[in-house]
């Protein structure tokens, strides 16, 4: 069993796909990724129609696709121009598979070029919102209103269509905004129907999935849970499984799912590194151990983690040291509690996509995608650990994990928990992490969460938290001069964390949070509000 973790992860991915393919993937849409930042979003939109979707490299061959037997194929957008010498191309044999295909933006232009049409630099680039005017309201554009706003992002246009194609829609600046070869079921759109800014985009996607690809809604939460439990039991058998529990929705959902599948064969380990929010470690153990009757082994590592950060101010160095110490504690405790045959991880589908090499051109070595999502995970586990991996959630997006959690009995306080970085409060303290600063931030953060909960606004935000700055400013409290820290409030809205906007909250709420922090948290005399969106900023400060 001394097996490389990464190799096991790849094997697990193959097993997961094969197992799901037995039942759920019969109704599958494949997305070929050409480097678009929206490829994951396309997959999510397909799954919202209750049809399974999977993102694959643009280098996937027609034969490989044929073996998967999908009901449809979508070609994503991308940052390149199709006429560039190094532009990524798909296997031209996919046009002859007899499978319906939808090209989106770059995907449409590639379809046009490979099938004998022409794509050229547009006289007028088109970015942002644009009205589309429908020439043909059938098939792909059924129930899409004429004059709908769609999201454009292109500087190239199709100037000549391949044989058999007709124009479905146009805009003021783009004569060819949507195309079709109805006989061969090949379609293309110059806009992005998957983004929220596109009116009627979901209707268009549903037309492709249901009417053109003839899919049925088999990708349901109930079907996934049933299949996942069968798969876990078949893979694990009577062996023991170790799960490093963090208290987040991913690891908590995984713990519930595994416990339903294998019961006492599961051991949950919670390593308290001292950087969680006020009351969270105690609440986590109480919920799992006493309420849900899922035993949790609590490991108190607060002092040793804090010692690792003494004098450290660089955020990347913080992450590395926390990750390294986590691995040391994990190794020590897993040996003490073991032996274990399997390690369970809450890997999600975006992690699988972003860690794959599908966006690297094998000829040039150049990265095709422009990735903007940053991660704050504690760090990977060493390759020589004696475990095999079990990752039942690796085909799910975050919103799907929440649905699974709800279906198997997770309480709302965990399902709706805001995303929380692996290094925790350590990267919300700018500069050195000390016991004093941890107490200040933990108390201030509690006020933020308490107030938005009291106002019934917790679910209005993607994240709502406090940041402690390593500076002091002058203030007046009573008749005395103070010289204390400022707290930054960060309340943001988002759909997926890829982009985010600062929340337009009532002034009364900001005032109440500010007053409570200044009055209740010793060491703070000023509160400011961060009104930076992502981009250009990031959600976290470090």
Please provide the average confidence, as pLDDT, over all residues in the chain: 86
E strands, 353-445, are 388-390
89 annotated active-site: no
Q: Specify whether 105 is catalytic.
A: yes
- pTM comes to 0.77
Pick the catalytic residue: 192, 231, 451, 485?
192
pLDDT digits (tens, 9 = 90+) for 122-165: 777 667 788 899 999 989 999 898 988 888 877 788 889 999 99
| pLDDT above 90 coverage of the chain, percent | 58
Whether the predicted pLDDT of 392 surpasses 50: yes
Confidence of residue 21 (pLDDT cuts 50, 70, 90): very low
What is the mean predicted confidence (pLDDT) over 421-430?
92
SS3 per residue for 122-154: EEEEEEEEEECEECCCCHHHCCCCCCCEEEEEE
Note whether 29 and 56 are within 8 A (CB). Answer: no
Q: Which of 11-25, 132-146, 331-345 has the lowest mean pLDDT?
A: 11-25
Question: Which among 54, 126, 194, 325 is annotated as catalytic?
Answer: 194
In terms of pLDDT, which residue wins out, 374 or 129?
129
pLDDT: is 213 or 478 the higher one? 213
Position 449 scores a pLDDT of: 95
Q: Which two tokens stand for residue 498?
A: 């890829």
pLDDT band at 378 (very low <50, low <70, confident <90, very high): very low
Evaluate if residue 53 carries a pLDDT over 90.
Answer: yes
Annotated active-site residue in 40, 90, 105, 158: 105
Q: Which of 471, 366, 210 is nearest to 219 (CA)?
A: 210
- Give 102-128 pLDDT, tens digit per residue: 999 999 999 999 999 998 887 776 677
* Cβ proximity of 83 and 73 under 8 Å: no
List of E strands, 304-444: 342-344, 388-390
Q: Which helix (H) or strand (E) holds 55?
A: strand 52-57
Predicted confidence at residue 373, as pLDDT, reads 26
268 is catalytic: no
Q: How many Cα neighbours within 13 Å face the side chain of 76?
A: 32
Whole-number pLDDT of residue 381 = 53
Q: Residues 263-292: what's their mean pLDDT?
A: 91
Q: What is the pLDDT of residues 430-482, one digit of tens each?
A: 999 999 999 999 999 999 999 999 999 999 999 999 999 999 989 888 768 88
Angle between helices 507-520 and 435-454 (to 10 degrees): 140
SS3 of the chain: helix, strand, coil, percent, to 5 = 40, 25, 40
The yes-or-no verdict on residue 202 having pLDDT over 90 is: yes
Question: Which range among 16-20, 296-300, 452-456, 538-542 shows the weakest confidence by mean pLDDT?
Answer: 16-20
| Overall average pLDDT of the 59-74 stretch | 95
Band the pLDDT of 26: cuts 50, 70, 90.
low
Q: Please check whether residue 136 is in contact with residue 166, taking contact to mean a CB–CB distance below 8 angstroms.
A: yes
Please tell me the predicted confidence (pLDDT) of residue 403: 93
CB 89 within 8 A of CB 114: yes
Who has greater pLDDT, 8 or 125?
A: 125
């Amino acid at each position: 069993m001394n097996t490389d973790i990464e190799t096991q992860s790849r094997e697990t991915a193959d097993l997961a796909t094969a197992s799901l393919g037995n039942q759920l993937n019969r109704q599958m849409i494949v997305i070929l990724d050409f480097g678009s930042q929206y490829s994951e979003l396309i997959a999510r939109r397909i799954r919202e129609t209750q049809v399974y979707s999977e993102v694959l490299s643009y280098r996937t061959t027609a034969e490989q696709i044929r073996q998967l037997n999908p009901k449809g194929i979508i070609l994503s957008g991308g940052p390149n121009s199709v006429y560039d010498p190094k532009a990524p191309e798909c296997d031209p044999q996919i046009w002859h598979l007899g499978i319906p295909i939808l090209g989106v933006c770059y995907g449409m232009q590639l379809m046009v070029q490979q099938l004998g049409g022409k794509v050229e630099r547009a006289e007028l680039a088109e970015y942002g919102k644009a009205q589309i005017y429908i020439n043909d309201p059938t098939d792909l554009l059924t129930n899409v209103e004429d004059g709908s706003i769609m999201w454009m992002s292109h500087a190239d246009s199709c100037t000549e269509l391949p044989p058999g194609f007709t124009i479905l829609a146009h805009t003021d600046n783009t004569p060819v905004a949507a195309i079709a070869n109805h006989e061969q079921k090949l379609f293309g759109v110059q806009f992005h129907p998957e983004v929220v800014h596109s009116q009627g985009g979901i209707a268009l996607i549903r037309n492709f999935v249901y009417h053109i690809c003839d899919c049925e809604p088999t990708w349901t939460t109930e079907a996934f849970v049933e299949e996942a439990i069968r798969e876990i039991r078949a893979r694990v058998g009577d062996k023991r499984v170790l799960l490093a529990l963090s208290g987040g929705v991913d690891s908590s959902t995984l713990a519930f799912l595994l416990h339903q599948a294998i019961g006492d064969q599961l051991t949950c380990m919670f390593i308290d590194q001292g950087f969680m929010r006020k009351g969270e470690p105690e609440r986590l153990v109480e919920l799992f151990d006493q309420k849900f009757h899922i035993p949790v082994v609590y490991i108190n590592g607060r002092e040793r983690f804090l010692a690792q950060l003494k004098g450290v101010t660089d955020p990347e160095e913080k992450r590395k040291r926390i990750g390294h110490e986590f691995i040391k504690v994990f190794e020590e405790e897993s040996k003490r509690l073991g032996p274990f045959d399997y390690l369970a991880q809450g890997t999600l589908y975006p992690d699988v996509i972003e860690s794959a090499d599908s966006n690297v051109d094998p000829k040039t070595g150049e990265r095709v995608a422009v990735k903007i999502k940053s991660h704050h995970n504690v760090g990977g586990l060493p390759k020589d650990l004696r475990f095999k991996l079990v990752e039942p959630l690796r085909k799910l997006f975050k919103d799907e994990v929440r649905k699974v959690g709800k279906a198997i009995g997770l309480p709302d306080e965990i399902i709706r928990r805001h995303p929380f970085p692996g290094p925790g409060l350590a990267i919300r303290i700018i500069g050195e992490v000390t016991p004093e600063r941890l107490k200040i931030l933990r108390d201030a953060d509690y006020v933020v969460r308490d107030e938005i909960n009291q106002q019934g606004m917790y679910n209005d935000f993607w994240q709502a938290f406090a940041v402690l700055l390593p500076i002091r400013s002058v203030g007046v409290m009573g008749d005395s001069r103070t010289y204390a820290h400022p707290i930054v409030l960060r309340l943001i809205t988002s759909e997926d964390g890829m982009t985010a906007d600062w929340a337009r909250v009532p002034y009364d709420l900001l005032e109440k949070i500010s007053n409570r922090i200044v009055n209740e948290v010793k060491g703070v005399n000023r509160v400011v509000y961060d009104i930076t969106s992502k981009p250009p900023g990031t959600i976290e400060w470090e």
